[in-house]
Amino acid sequence: MSSVHPSTSPIPSAADPSSAASGERHQVTILLYSDDFTTRDAVRAAVGRRPARDVEVVAWKECATPEAVVTEVEQGGFDLLILDGEASPMGGLGLTRQLKNEIFDCPPILVLTGRPQDGWLAAWSQAEAAVPHPIDPITLATAVADLARTTR
């Protein structure tokens, strides 16, 4: 099960990057995985349409199953993936490791961990970034903006 949502959240910019001064803009399409729709809603609200002055989220693709994530990532078109480490039946940490090992040129991945002490699991999974639950909007928006700036 997956759905597409245009980015319409009213949350303002959370980061003030140096690339904003140079005028460089980053438009990103994000795939978001969680089996819990309230987590997906919370992530979209926290990130918003503009997580930073120079970063704009142009589209979201939501997936509720790991199979849908693999299918979507294989088809391509995403600049960034956000995977919920607490999802069931397969958590985002294991799914991250699978994607990084099986998908050529896998986009950067941000994982949502169960707690701050789970950072080592995020490193094991090969994720580029991790943000713990409960979701802090400023931390999440900043992490998304930082990863968006590294996309091709």
113 forms beta bridges with 132
Range of the domain at 105: 2-8+24-148
Which amino acid is it at 7? S
Does residue 58 lie within any of the structural domains? yes
Look up residue 84 and give its DSSP letter. E
Does residue 122 lie within any of the structural domains? yes
pLDDT in tens, 70-114: 999 999 999 999 999 999 999 999 999 999 999 999 999 999 999
Does residue 92 lie within any of the structural domains? yes
List the CATH number of the domain containing 70: 3.40.50.2300
Does residue 13 lie within any of the structural domains? no
Residues with Cβ within 8 Å of residue 16, at least 6 apart in sequence: 52, 53
Regions in the chain scoring below 50 on pLDDT: 4-20
pLDDT at residue 81, rounded to an integer: 98
Does residue 17 lie within any of the structural domains? no
CA distance 12 to 90: 32
CA distance 55 to 18: 12
CA distance 140 to 146: 10
Q: Say how many domains are in the chain.
A: 1
CA–CA distances in Å: residue 33 to residues 21, 25, 48, 54, 105:
32, 25, 16, 24, 19
Does residue 110 lie within any of the structural domains? yes
Does residue 141 lie within any of the structural domains? yes
Does residue 16 lie within any of the structural domains? no
